Amino acid sequence: MQNAVRVSKNVYWVGAIDWNVRNFHGYQTRRGTTYNAYLILGEKVGLIDAVKAPFKEEMLARIRSVIDPQRIDIIVSNHAEMDHTGCLPDIIRETNPQAIYASAMGAKVLHEIYSLDREIIPVKDEDTISLGNFNLTFLEARMLHWPDSMFTYLEEENILFSQDAFGMHYASSERFDSSIPQDILEYEAATYYANILLPYSPLVAKLLQKVGSLGLTIKAIAPDHGPIWRKNHQWIIEKYKNWAEQKPRAKAVIVYGSMWHNTEKMARSIAEGLSSEGIEVKFMCMDCCHRSDIMYELLDAAAVVIGSSTLNNNILPQMADIMTYMKGLKPKNLKGFAFGSYGWSGEAADHIHGTMKDMGIEMISEPLKVKNAPTDDVLKACYERGQALAQSIHAALG
């Protein structure tokens, strides 16, 4: 028995809970996720978004707990990615709605993915459609998280359906933020932002400005993943403003991979040097940390220091993993340097230095390299390089 959950007078959550998913494009979803869909019971019945294909029956069961799915008149697809549209072709076939709406890009992408034989009506920024007694206004949310993304605002109940934005990967039997501990909300929302939305931060800032300028009354934000914000909606908007700026604080993240603990010894001395100057250090060995956790830590860091042993004239594979992932997510406002030990050729630290430069990280020095085991003098140099970075962070933060 799977029931809908009432969100407001005429809106119900009819999504699905994916307790077991642990990977979303390389982002480790340790707490699973939800795929949220919403039913609006107006004079016309509207369905906002759908769920991943294997969860179709769960969504239909929740809809049936309120109305016959055949009564759905209108479907709005805020985001074409398959976690929200996987079951859409079946739902369209089975419910035969009067109209299906998406952004112009969404309409195009849905046809490209599913070869639909139904028209998807493209809507533009600030277009409004009527459900009889209710109005839905669409807001373009380009790249949050795909080019097709849009928000839908239900004027009469002041709900902003925000698809991926303001979401988190968090499976729970609770549907609302007020029932979830604040530390979990903050951690999971920040991890989601750092691993999904970070590269689009300038567009996040622009969209938040636009939403603010429209003067919408917002009583709830209903995203497509995780809890519905009914209590902390203003808090999460403020958090997004901060994360979009990626404002650094006195914190450095050391990320490294080490074959025989020599690069690790260097990392430890660098960490001591940073700490001695009052910088908070996150010490992250790629053999025991996940790339998603590193992105979470970088969200408010001022510096990143990256090291690798040299393996076959290159960096270690676990370092290639994080370098590729980090480069794609384009973290900003970071300083740092590269380091590493080697046996004979020593290319790793140079490779990392080059990639960090390409990422726009302000490099405070050339790479710190050591042949085989670091001597006390080398470890002293590592400590002092940590101190130099700390001083550079303090100077920048003022």
Instruction: State which residue has the least CB distance to ligand FEO.
Output: 81
Angle between helices 104-114 and 88-95 (to 10 degrees): 90
Distance in Å, CB of 81 to ligand FEO, minimum: 4
- Is 79 or 251 the residue whose CB approaches ligand FEO more closely? 79
From the list 81-89, 233-241, 311-319, 371-379, the region that binds ligand FEO by CB under 6 A is 81-89
Tokens of 155: 């004027």
Sign of the CA dihedral 165, 170, 173, 176?
A: negative
Q: Which of 83, 177, 293, 297 is in the footprint of ligand FEO by CB under 6 A? A: 83
Site string for ligand FEO, 163-192 (x = CB under 6 A): -x----------------------------
Q: What is the β-pairing status of strands 159-163 and 220-223?
A: parallel
Nearer to ligand FEO, 18 or 300 (CB): 18
Place of tokens 């976690």: 83
Q: Which range binds ligand FEO by CB under 6 A, 76-84, 101-109, 244-252, 310-318?
A: 76-84
Nearest to ligand FEO of 144, 322 (CB atom): 144
CB atoms within 10 A of CB 380: 13
For residue 80, the minimal CB distance to ligand FEO (Å) is 9
Angle at 321 between CA 320 and CA 322, to 5 degrees: 95
Task: Indicate the residue type of 346.
Answer: G
The size of the interface with ligand FEO (CB under 6 A), counted in residues, is: 9
Shortest Å, Cβ 142 to ligand FEO = 13
- Paired with 6 in beta bridges are 12
- 81 or 188: CB nearest ligand FEO: 81
> 81 or 264: whose CB is closer to ligand FEO?
81
Q: Is 68 exposed, middle or buried (0-12, 13-18, 19+ CB in 10 A)?
A: exposed
Q: How far is the CB of 151 from ligand FEO (least distance, A)?
A: 13
Q: Give min distance, CB of 50 to ligand FEO, in A.
A: 11
| Residue range at the interface with ligand FEO (CB under 6 A); choices 78-86, 92-100, 119-127, 170-178 | 78-86
DSSP state of 224: S
Nearest residue to 229 via CA among 74, 5, 382, 7:
7
- The residues assigned a catalytic role are 25, 79, 81, 83, 145, 164, 192, 225
Out of 177, 224, 264, 297, the only residue in the binding site for ligand FEO (CB under 6 A) is 224
CB of 179 to ligand FEO, least distance (A): 22
Cα separation of 362 and 305, whole Å? 11
Burial of 170 per CB tally in 10 Å (0-12, 13-18, 19+): buried
Site for ligand FEO in 125-154 (CB under 6 A): 145-146
- Whether residue 360 contacts residue 390, with contact meaning beta carbons closer than 8 Å, is answered with no
Residues 6 or more apart whose CB falls under 8 angstroms from that of 337 comprise 305, 353, 356, 363, 364, 365, 366, 367, 368, 385, 389
Only segment of 13-21, 80-88, 295-303, 338-346 that touches ligand FEO (CB under 6 A): 80-88
Secondary structure of residue 152 in the 3-state scheme: strand
Please choose, out of 3-11, 75-83, 85-93, 201-209, the segment that lies near ligand FEO by the rule CB under 6 A. Answer: 75-83
Residues 6 or more apart whose CB falls under 8 angstroms from that of 3 comprise 62, 65
> Is 79 a binder of ligand FEO (CB under 6 A)?
yes
At closest approach, how far in Å is the CB of 129 from ligand FEO? 23
Our CB check for ligand FEO shows the closer of 80 and 319 to be 80
x/- map, 266-295, ligand FEO, by CB under 6 A: ------------------------------
**Distance, CA of 141 to CA of 144 (rounded, Å):** 6
**One-letter amino acid for residue 17 of the chain:** I
Q: C-beta of 243: minimal distance to ligand FEO in Å?
A: 17
CA atoms within 13 A on the CB side of 231: 10
**Which residue's CB is nearer to ligand FEO, number 111 or number 394?**
111
**C-beta of residue 78 within 8 angstroms of C-beta of residue 112:** no
Interacting residues of 104 by C-beta distance below 8 A, sequence separation 6+:
122, 123, 124
Give 221 or 352: the residue with its C-beta nearer to ligand FEO: 221
Q: Using CB under 6 A as the criterion, which residues of the chain lie in contact with ligand FEO when the complex forms?
A: 79, 81, 83-84, 145-146, 164, 224-225
